[in-house]
Structure 1
Amino acid sequence: MTTKLPQSEDTLLIRTDFSDEAAWQALRVAVTTPAEDEADDDDDEDGFLAMLHIVDEPAYEGLTTQEIVALAPEDDDLLIVADQRAMTDPEMPLLAIHLRAPDDEDEDAEGEDERRGTTDELRVVARELWSLENNIAMANMDWEEFVEAAEDDGVFRGF
């Protein structure tokens, strides 16, 4: 039985594909390397970085979105998944899952999915994860702004 995901102040990045260790290491480097701020010439700044708690446990291999949501801490509203597509596509499009609280009419609903309300999914390339994670975590921007900025293939590649 798979255990609950860890509680963290940072956004969880859950690895669900264990087929290629080199791809995983490349993805980790991509999401933990600060993005350079092209508008800022101050070399003292490190750049933007997603605040992530990396979950690298084989127990979560192959989990579906619904299974991940069911295992997530109740207070989390954003989860990032490193699945097979993220590991095999050169752009490393991670799966971002936005968990929304149930609407008032859903309060009496039964089942695991209703506990969280609805979930929305969006792919985000690894080099732009910081933008989505920082702005959603700090409530600077709405989820819909990232969805609208995604390209026709459903992948957010930046503004």
Structure 2
Amino acid sequence: MGHLPATWCVPVVRADFRDDGVWERLTDEIVSPTREGFRAHVEFVEDRELSGLDGTAIAAGYPRAYPHRYRHPVVFVVDAVTVSLPEHPLLVVNLNESDETGPFRALPRQIQAIENNLSIANMDFFEFARAADPDGVFRGF
């Protein structure tokens, strides 16, 4: 595990395959522009090797190897928790080797803000993680 495909944009990895309808709705919501016209620059990939693993195991499977091994500082994961909870919070995994901040979850409509700001180094991963609600879900600032 820990293999990410070489993508031009930040990957959103599908790790739960029980509900194609939820996956389709999530992909649509993630790439829909914000009211201000901003878009998430992501690529959707499927990884059946992650199926059945919990968020802790998935996050641990991606070594912190950005910028040397990975092109992007973060990966978003649609796992069993994402699919099963009403808000569908994605797992947000830190790939940056110089930042020890652990994963958190984010609502689909927040993926754009996280991706855009991390990709241009406008904000750091820990700023989003620290802004997560007590339940560990980032719902915005």
**Residue 55 (structure 1) aligns with:** 45
Mapped to 1, the partners of 2:138 and 2:2 lie a distance apart of: 31
Q: CA deviation at 1:32?
A: 1.4
**Residue 99 (structure 1) aligns with:** 95
Mapped to 1, the partners of 2:33 and 2:132 lie a distance apart of: 22
Judge conservation of contact 1:97–1:119 (CA < 8 Å) in 2.
no
Mapped to 2, the partners of 1:25 and 1:147 lie a distance apart of: 26
Judge conservation of contact 1:15–1:81 (CA < 8 Å) in 2.
yes
Q: Does 1:139 align with 2:121?
A: yes
**Structure 1: any 5+ residue segments left out of the alignment?**
38-46, 103-116
CA shift in 2, pair 1:138/1:97, >3 Å = same
CA shift in 2, pair 1:61/1:141, >3 Å = same
Mapped to 1, the partners of 2:131 and 2:59 lie a distance apart of: 22
Q: CA deviation at 1:36?
A: 1.2
Mapped to 2, the partners of 1:54 and 1:32 lie a distance apart of: 10
**Residue 134 (structure 2) aligns with:** 152
Judge conservation of contact 1:79–1:98 (CA < 8 Å) in 2.
yes
Q: CA deviation at 1:131?
A: 0.5
Letter in 1 for 2:86: P
Q: Deviations over 1:10-63 (max 9, x none)?
A: 1011000001111111111111111112xxxxxxxxx11111111024344234
**Structure 2: any 5+ residue segments left out of the alignment?**
none
**Residue 6 (structure 2) aligns with:** 7
- Please state whether the residue corresponding to 2:92 is helix, strand or coil: strand
CA shift in 2, pair 1:101/1:17, >3 Å = same
Write out aligned runs for 1:87-126 (5 A).
87-101=83-97, 118=100, 120-126=102-108
Judge conservation of contact 1:23–1:88 (CA < 8 Å) in 2.
no
Q: Does 1:84 align with 2:83?
A: no
Mapped to 1, the partners of 2:15 and 2:48 lie a distance apart of: 7
**Residue 33 (structure 2) aligns with:** 34
Mapped to 1, the partners of 2:127 and 2:4 lie a distance apart of: 28
How much is the aligned-residue C-alpha RMSD, in angstroms?
Answer: 2.2
The TM-score, its normalising length taken from structure 1, stands at 0.74
Aligned residues: 133
